[in-house]
Chains A and B, each alone.
Chain A
Amino acid sequence: MPHTILSDKMNRLNNTEILEKLKSKFGTEILFSEEPFGLLTIYIEKQIIKDMLQYLYQETHLGFQFLTDLCGIHDPSQVNAELGVVYHLQNMRTNTRIRIKSFTALSNPKFPTVTDIFKTANWMERETYDFFGIIFEGHPNLKRILNMDDMVDFPLRKEFPLEDQTRLDKDDKMFGR
């Protein structure tokens, strides 16, 4: 006997409806949106991150109250929008996910913290700071978490080399990225 799916797929929130709701609330600060693999992805200005996450959390018909993941991304090819933060939110009741992305210039790597909405963002933001140097303004304890405290670089930025560049015995011409 096949297993009955507990979560009602019919119950899943509609992506276009979510987007309409957010657009009517935030308007032009939503830059654009797409749906890779059915997951609604919204690109927003960083000023409204906190408001939007709060709105998604509180609004009765949205209820995205679970922060699945928060991570940084560095893309040197996007001039003046090199550093980004990606939020994955989830509404467990309706089994709906949403992804929110926001980018900023490398010269001003500051984002608002969301630790007062989600406690779980605490370490995730520390990890993002540790690896990308993104400063989360208002974070209660923003210091390195996985790397040692006296490190000065931000190792997941693209310019940071994976290995010691002075080594001569390694030739990555064929197999490197």
Chain B
Amino acid sequence: MSHIKLDKDSIERETTTLNLGPTHPATHGVFQNILELDGERIVGADTTIGYIHRAFEKIAEHRAYYQITPLTDRLNYCSSPINNMGWHTTVEKLFGIQTPKRVDYLRVIIMELARISDHLICNSILGVDTGAYSGFLYLMQERENIYEIYEEICGARLTTNMGRVGGFERDINPIAIRKIREFLKRYPKTLSEFEKLFNRNRIFMDRTIDVGKISAESALNYGFTGPNLRACGVDYDVRVMEPYSSYQDFDFSIPVGSNGDAYDRFMVRNREMWESLKIIGQALENLPEGSYQADVPEFVLPPKEEVYNDMEALIYHFKIIMGEVDVPKGEVYHSVEGANGELGFYLVSDGGRTPFRLHFRRPCFIYYQAYPEIIKGSLISDAIVTLSGLNVIAGELDA
């Protein structure tokens, strides 16, 4: 990029090329930015991605439907349950499975917990990048508590592989419920403490207001979704526009910003955490009794005891594992509100054991292409703040 001409009033003789990444502690993920610098001001930027590309779309064409859930874990690994449930709801849409209300409510609880854990990481890391470490330490404990809830529900912490097509592998246990209630009681206190530290903090405001700014028109043209779009003032949320998993039963609002900068993104994420708490509270209060699985023996694995003692269960177990179940043909696009935006699954089935084609609409991949344009003209330190504020997750970026 040596063709870039310096400004007339620049004191430099030539631009400096700086490699920011691929492994830099401030980029929180493996991606490279080749910056062209005039002093400390960025005059040109080029990004290289694909460092942790794992060909999930190709692998998915060779795996049965239930084996794809672990792949989705590794997209946005900060909120893997949302990816899992997004995948399950997609497959259920294709198969025409009606899930019981209990499944929907449990999913909503878990997805909102995942959203909180994703947003709190993003916001506290933004604090770290602007020089405020203590907020990160306060919130990290709460992420640990959320992971303990995951552990109680499915046994895993980060890559959860939670739930199955049609519901859950087992019912939620009382310990998990107790831990969620404790979390609901404790988290508001931590979050308001965090907000007191940041929201009106002069240094934090100076570092984030008008940094990484993007207009609503530009954001829409770049395909922004989720909190980053809402920070620009567009009230688009898949949970409201196309409710899935019974989101229409809950009372919550969609926080929007106006300026589209790092500060507004931070505020939108904070307010969304409050809304998520509200949703979890409602779902937990009104959690219906009933089955934790849909009544579809062709797709839901029977319990192990029945497999050993019951002929029919054994047949279904064999059929599901060996892929002998007839899968409907068709193509479906389904999207859920991921922590970073609209997480879409475009699934084409030709009736085979595996998808014919599966494409992930990954919000990070789509909005990261605006990054060079956003940071042009800003300082290096602002580029770091912008990157954290956008919440780019390398796993989702590279799939």
Q: CA of A162 to CA of B61 in the docked complex: distance in angstroms?
A: 9
Nearest Cβ on chain A to B91's Cβ, whole angstroms: 13
Interface SS majority for chain A: loop
Is A66 engaged at the interface, CB distance under 8 Å to the other chain? yes
Stretch at the interface among B8-16, B121-129, B248-256: B248-256
- Evaluate whether A69 and B361 lie within 8 angstroms (CB atoms) in the complex, with A119-B222, A146-B49, A177-B353 already known: yes
Point out the residues of chain B lying under 8 angstroms from A123, CB to CB. Answer: 365-366, 368-369
Question: When the two chains form their complex, are residues B330 and A36 in contact, meaning their CB atoms are under 8 A apart?
Answer: yes
- Top 3 nearest A-B pairs (CB, nearest first) are A120-B223, A146-B50, A71-B359
Q: CA of A36 to CA of B248 in the docked complex: distance in angstroms?
A: 23
Residue of B nearest to A71 (CB): B359
Q: CA of A92 to CA of B234 in the docked complex: distance in angstroms?
A: 10
Q: CA of A144 to CA of B53 in the docked complex: distance in angstroms?
A: 12
Q: Name the one of B223, B331, B335 contacting A118, with C-beta atoms under 8 angstroms.
A: B223
Point out the residues of chain B lying under 8 angstroms from A177, CB to CB. Answer: 61-62, 352-354
Q: Which of B216-238 contact A (CB under 8 A)?
A: 218, 220-223, 234-236
Is A33 engaged at the interface, CB distance under 8 Å to the other chain? no
Stretch at the interface among B75-83, B201-209, B302-310, B342-350: B342-350
Count, chain B residues at interface, CB 8 A: 54
Q: Which of B343-399 contact A (CB under 8 A)?
A: 344, 346, 348, 352-354, 356-357, 359, 361, 365-366, 368-370, 398-399
Q: How many A-B residue pairs have CB under 8 A?
A: 113
Is A95 engaged at the interface, CB distance under 8 Å to the other chain? yes
Q: Which of A134-177 contact B (CB under 8 A)?
A: 144-148, 155-156, 160, 162, 174-177
Point out the residues of chain A lying under 8 angstroms from B348, CB to CB. Answer: 73
Is A68 engaged at the interface, CB distance under 8 Å to the other chain? yes
Q: Which of A98-138 contact B (CB under 8 A)?
A: 99, 118-120, 122-124, 127, 131
Is B154 engaged at the interface, CB distance under 8 Å to the other chain? no
Interface residue ranges, B against A (CB under 8 Å): 49-50, 53, 55, 57-59, 61-62, 93, 218, 220-223, 234-236, 240-243, 247-252, 254, 322-323, 330-333, 335, 342, 344, 346, 348, 352-354, 356-357, 359, 361, 365-366, 368-370, 398-399
Residue of A nearest to B254 (CB): A6
- Evaluate whether A155 and B330 lie within 8 angstroms (CB atoms) in the complex, with A69-B361, A71-B359 already known: no
Q: CA of A74 to CA of B350 in the docked complex: distance in angstroms?
A: 13
Q: CA of A156 to CA of B357 in the docked complex: distance in angstroms?
A: 9
Question: When the two chains form their complex, are residues A7 and B359 in contact, meaning their CB atoms are under 8 A apart?
Answer: no
Q: CA of A175 to CA of B324 in the docked complex: distance in angstroms?
A: 11
- Evaluate whether A176 and B62 lie within 8 angstroms (CB atoms) in the complex, with A6-B241, A37-B332 already known: yes
Nearest Cβ on chain A to B312's Cβ, whole angstroms: 23
Question: When the two chains form their complex, are residues A162 and B62 in contact, meaning their CB atoms are under 8 A apart?
Answer: yes
Point out the residues of chain B lying under 8 angstroms from A92, CB to CB. Answer: 220, 234, 236, 241
Q: Name the one of B221, B248, B331, B357 contacting A120, with C-beta atoms under 8 angstroms.
A: B221
Residue of B nearest to A99 (CB): B333
Nearest Cβ on chain A to B294's Cβ, whole angstroms: 18
Point out the residues of chain B lying under 8 angstroms from A3, CB to CB. Answer: 240, 247-252
Nearest Cβ on chain B to A165's Cβ, whole angstroms: 13
Is A56 engaged at the interface, CB distance under 8 Å to the other chain? no
Q: Which of A35-49 contact B (CB under 8 A)?
A: 36-37, 39, 41
Point out the residues of chain A lying under 8 angstroms from B322, CB to CB. Answer: 174-175
Query: A7-B241, A95-B241, A175-B323 given. 12 additional CB < 8 A pairs?
Result: A36-B331, A71-B346, A74-B357, A75-B356, A118-B223, A120-B369, A122-B369, A127-B365, A146-B49, A156-B57, A177-B353, A177-B354
Nearest Cβ on chain A to B62's Cβ, whole angstroms: 5
Q: CA of A144 to CA of B49 in the docked complex: distance in angstroms?
A: 10
Point out the residues of chain A lying under 8 angstroms from B220, CB to CB. Answer: 65-66, 92
Question: When the two chains form their complex, are residues B399 and A39 in contact, meaning their CB atoms are under 8 A apart?
Answer: no
Q: Which of A17-67 contact B (CB under 8 A)?
A: 36-37, 39, 41, 65-67
Q: CA of A156 to CA of B59 in the docked complex: distance in angstroms?
A: 10
Point out the residues of chain A lying under 8 angstroms from B247, CB to CB. Answer: 3
Point out the residues of chain B lying under 8 angstroms from A88, CB to CB. Answer: 333, 344, 346, 361
Question: When the two chains form their complex, are residues B242 and A95 in contact, meaning their CB atoms are under 8 A apart?
Answer: yes
- Evaluate whether A120 and B222 lie within 8 angstroms (CB atoms) in the complex, with A39-B333, A88-B346 already known: yes
Residue of B nearest to A148 (CB): B50
Nearest Cβ on chain B to A117's Cβ, whole angstroms: 9
Point out the residues of chain A lying under 8 angstroms from B93, CB to CB. Answer: 37
Q: Which of A72-101 contact B (CB under 8 A)?
A: 73-75, 86, 88, 92, 95, 97, 99
Nearest Cβ on chain A to B337's Cβ, whole angstroms: 13
Is A1 engaged at the interface, CB distance under 8 Å to the other chain? yes
A-B contact pairs, 15 of them (CB 8 A): A2-B250, A3-B249, A3-B252, A6-B241, A36-B332, A37-B330, A66-B220, A71-B359, A73-B348, A119-B222, A120-B223, A123-B368, A131-B57, A148-B50, A177-B354
Q: CA of A5 to CA of B246 in the docked complex: distance in angstroms?
A: 12
Point out the residues of chain A lying under 8 angstroms from B50, CB to CB. Answer: 144-148
Q: CA of A88 to CA of B366 in the docked complex: distance in angstroms?
A: 14
